[in-house]
Amino acid sequence: MLSRKDFVSRFGGVFEHSPFIAERAFDNGSVTEPLTASGVHAALAAVFRAASKEERLGVLRAHPDLAGRLAVAGELTEDSRKEQSGAGLDRLSPVEHARFSELNAAYVEKFGFPFIIAVKGLGKEDILSAFERRIGNGPDEEFATATAQVERIALLRLTSMLPEGE
């Protein structure tokens, strides 16, 4: 079994900039060998769901804006950079970039956290459509949608790191 330090080092970023999730999963004994994407995800997601609303909000706020200033400045985490690049968000036209920036600002103003979507398998048009649809959600509905997307992103990241499992 990995040590706590090694486990947190390896999986602490699966939930964006939120190593407390990996720490708690390790500490509560819910991580078991062999490490599989589904097993580690179940352990981490359970901790995320059990976290206070403020802690979950902190996880949401740790995510970067899509095609936002961190992307432009090259300051995304490696996972976020790959995910956004794979969806074509690093190749937006000036008009598309302006639309994403406008939606990002409106979304953060309305909900208090950035728009979060698991972009794997989506193109920029799909993402823009989801963005425009979800900005009309109410706060509770969007908080639930965003947290579900965070869990999906975590599973996709774990799947690239570990075997699937059952």
CA atoms of 83 and 79, how far apart (whole Å): 6
Domain of 118 in residue numbering reads as 60-145
Q: Is residue 128 part of a domain?
A: yes
- Residue 152 burial (10 A CB sphere; 0-12, 13-18, 19+): middle
Q: Is residue 6 part of a domain?
A: no
Assess whether 63 carries a catalytic annotation: yes
Per the structure, the count of domains in the chain is 1
Q: Is residue 95 part of a domain?
A: yes
- Global pTM? 0.89
Q: Per-residue pLDDT for the chain (166 aa), expressed as one digit of tens each?
A: 799 999 999 999 999 899 999 999 999 999 999 999 999 999 999 999 999 999 999 999 998 777 665 455 566 677 777 777 777 877 888 898 889 889 999 999 999 999 999 988 898 899 999 999 999 999 999 999 999 999 999 999 999 999 876 5
Q: Is residue 40 part of a domain?
A: no
Q: Is residue 3 part of a domain?
A: no
CA 150 to chain centre: 4
Q: Is residue 49 part of a domain?
A: no
Q: Is residue 25 part of a domain?
A: no
CATH of the domain at 140: 1.10.3330.10
CA atoms of 138 and 143, how far apart (whole Å): 9
CA atoms of 10 and 8, how far apart (whole Å): 5
b/e map of 103-132 (b: 16 or more CB within 10 Å)? Answer: bbeebeeebebbbbbbbeebebeebbebbe
Task: Name the catalytic one among 17, 41, 63, 97.
Answer: 63
Q: Is residue 117 part of a domain?
A: yes
